[in-house]
Amino acid sequence: MAAATLFEKLWQRHVVHEPEAGPPLLYMDRHLVYEVTSPQAFEGLRMGKRRLWRPQTVLATADHNVPTTSRSVGIIDPLSRIQVEQLSRNCKEFGVTEFGLSDPRQGIIHVVGPEQGATLPGMTVVAGDSHTSTHGAFAALAFGVGTSEVEHVLATQCLSVNPMKPMLVRIEGALAPGVTAKDLILDVIGRIGTAGGTGYAIEFGGGAVRALSMEGRMTLCNMAIEAGARVGLVAVDQKTIDYLKGRPYAPRGERWEQAVAYWRTLVSDEGAHFDRTLEIDAALVQPMVTWGTSPEMVQPIGGQVPDPAREPDPVKRSGMANALAYMAIEPGMPIKAIQPDKVFIGSCTNARIEDLRAAAAVLKGRHIAPTIKLALAVPGSGLVKAQAEAEGLDRVFTDAGFEWREPGCSMCLGMNEDRLAPGERCASTSNRNFEGRQGAGGRSHLVSPAMAAAAAVAGHFVDVRKEFS
Ligand SMILES: CC(C)[C@H](C(=O)O)[C@@H](O)C(=O)O
Ligand code: SF4
């Protein structure tokens, strides 16, 4: 058999029908469901008098609209409340497992899936959410879909999927201490742009990726979509297997052994062909900070806000000028001079235990600057929260002046009570810095958890390696 990429292996294994015209039909192994993109899908099933094809493949939890303050008062915003309640009703009616708001396993769906072992190597994983790419860290073919496709998968377990081309981002060498997966993916997006991965499934490989924890690999794949790729992938290795062993949804006993034997084949073969390859020297990657309104508008911490006047491409030039006006920063300004009003540590990009540990390591024995109006630490799931509390991290955050919250998407996007006010500037560990993303008129700067913590303490962006080592 010809050498195949990991992407090709996963794809071929799931094709159930190749029509003469149109995209192939793929089988979906796991479907993750949350409150925003599922109500109409369930309603469609109800109208068509359809049931779920395989309800046991579906796992649901509410995340975007949930409050992160005390849950005992319920959800105040009526629309949010209806969506979250409707999810529970739908799950009951259609026989879907849901981790409800009082369940310690509730959290951001992309944190919960892997944590439960519901995401496994070799699977196809879909959710009505673009950051489903996160699950590719487990060598699963995982991508986001729209509401009508959510309905289709619920009803048939299958989906027509436009083919993608395999792309390799090979990162060799070692990341410097204090430089994380978040900096790496921001660096990649800074190089190739937010359309650089369009039409591709990006496999992240090389020594620096193998050296990353599963958490770090999830951060990389989470933002593949911000590089334009629907799919991010990392090959299976011992870390993948060790992470999954004993997780509630992972196979056990003999089935575990059989699964592991198969999973070990989920790597790109030597000599497999990629349509595009990008090589990166990990040693050169710096802590990164976005300055604009797109993740590609990013600079190393030692850099300066670029000058649109120097940009030859007129479309890019005006995009940069608009971004600078929106962000209220000047060309040439040192990145270190940017002063956030709020700090958000959370989201499906960076709210796993390792992220909280990295931020807490910076915050220990320190306090946020008096100019910081609000600093939030929001664990990605109830289990992450419990683990962090067992390690005393919650105290480190609260002693430093952070608020320690309940799990959810929180200030990653303005769908719940955690928002920026117009004009407010935020150091955020999330993945999108679009206009109004964290609240109308809010200004977002994307960074790693350690960099967000360091900015909270200093009151402006700083090089966490130099000032907090
Ligand atoms: C609400 C949802 C459809 C959306 C997504 O698809 O990613 C959100 O999670 C986001 O991060 O922008
Ligand atoms: S944490 Fe943010 S990026 Fe992730 S699913 Fe929620 S809103 Fe989307």
The domain limits of the chain are 6-160, 165-235+263-284, 288-467
Q: How far apart are CA 325 and CA 292, in angstroms?
A: 9
Q: Other C-beta atoms within 10 Å of 457: how many?
A: 22
Share of the chain above pLDDT 90, in %: 98
The answer to whether domain 165-235+263-284 and domain 288-467 are alike in fold is: no
Q: How remote is the CA of residue 412 from the centroid of ligand 1, in Å?
A: 10
- The pLDDT of residue 468: 86
Summary mean pLDDT of the chain: 97
- The pLDDT of residue 433: 98
Reported for 197-200, long-range contacts at CB under 8 A and 24+ positions apart, including other chains, are 197/167, 197/224, 197/227, 197/228, 197/229, 198/228, 198/229, 199/164, 199/165, 199/228, 199/229, 200/164, 200/165, 200/166, 200/167, 200/228, 200/229, 200/231, 200/275, 200/276
**Where does 232-377 have alpha helices with state H?**
238-244, 253-263, 314-327, 353-363
- The pLDDT of residue 90: 98
- The pLDDT of residue 175: 98
- The pLDDT of residue 467: 87
Q: How far apart are CA 326 and CA 435, in angstroms?
A: 8
Mutate to test the pocket of ligand 2, among 33, 65, 83, 110 (most ligand atoms within 8 A of CB): 110
Domain 165-235+263-284 -> CATH class:
alpha beta
Question: What is the pTM for the complete model shown?
Answer: 0.98
Reported for 238-243, long-range contacts at CB under 8 A and 24+ positions apart, including other chains, are 239/210, 239/213, 239/214, 240/121, 240/138, 240/139, 240/214, 243/114, 243/214
Secondary structure (3-state) at 312: coil
What residue's CA is closest to ligand 1, atom 8?
A: 129
In tens, the pLDDT along 50-102 reads 999 999 999 999 999 999 998 888 899 999 999 999 999 999 999 999 999 99
Q: ipTM score here?
A: 0.99
In tens, the pLDDT along 329-370 reads 999 999 999 999 999 999 999 999 999 999 999 999 999 999
CATH annotation of 288-467: 3.30.499.10
Q: How far apart are CA 263 and CA 237, in angstroms?
A: 9
- The pLDDT of residue 70: 87
Our answer on whether the CB atom of 437 is closer than 6 Å to any ligand 1 atom is no
Mutate to test the pocket of ligand 1, among 131, 134, 135 (most ligand atoms within 8 A of CB): 131
Torsion angle, alpha carbons of 372, 391, 465, 363, to 10: 20
Spatial contact of 130 and 413, defined as CB atoms under 8 Å apart:
no
What residue has token string 């909270």?
Answer: 456
Q: Please state, in angstroms and as integers, the Cα–Cα distance from residue 141 to each residue in 144, 233, 262, 296, 425, following that order.
A: 10, 7, 15, 25, 36
Instruction: Classify burial at 381, counting beta carbons within 10 Å of its beta carbon; exposed 0-12, middle 13-18, buried 19 or more.
Output: buried
DSSP state at residue 97? E
In tens, the pLDDT along 199-237 reads 999 999 999 999 999 999 999 999 999 999 999 999 999
In tens, the pLDDT along 110-150 reads 999 999 999 999 999 999 999 999 999 999 999 999 999 99
- The pLDDT of residue 361: 98
Q: List the structure tokens of 256.
A: 């575990």
- The pLDDT of residue 72: 85
In tens, the pLDDT along 293-329 reads 999 999 999 999 999 999 999 999 999 999 999 999 9
- The pLDDT of residue 196: 97
- Taking the CA of residue 413 as reference, the ligand 2 atom at the shortest distance is 7
Whether pLDDT at 162 is above 80: yes
Q: How remote is the CA of residue 203 from the centroid of ligand 2, in Å?
A: 22
In tens, the pLDDT along 253-279 reads 999 999 999 999 999 999 999 999 999
Q: Is domain 6-160 classified as CATH 3.50.50.60?
A: no
- Looking at the CA of 225, which ligand is closest? 1
Whether pLDDT at 166 is above 80: yes
Residues 34-46: what's their mean pLDDT? 98
- Taking the CA of residue 349 as reference, the ligand 2 atom at the shortest distance is 4
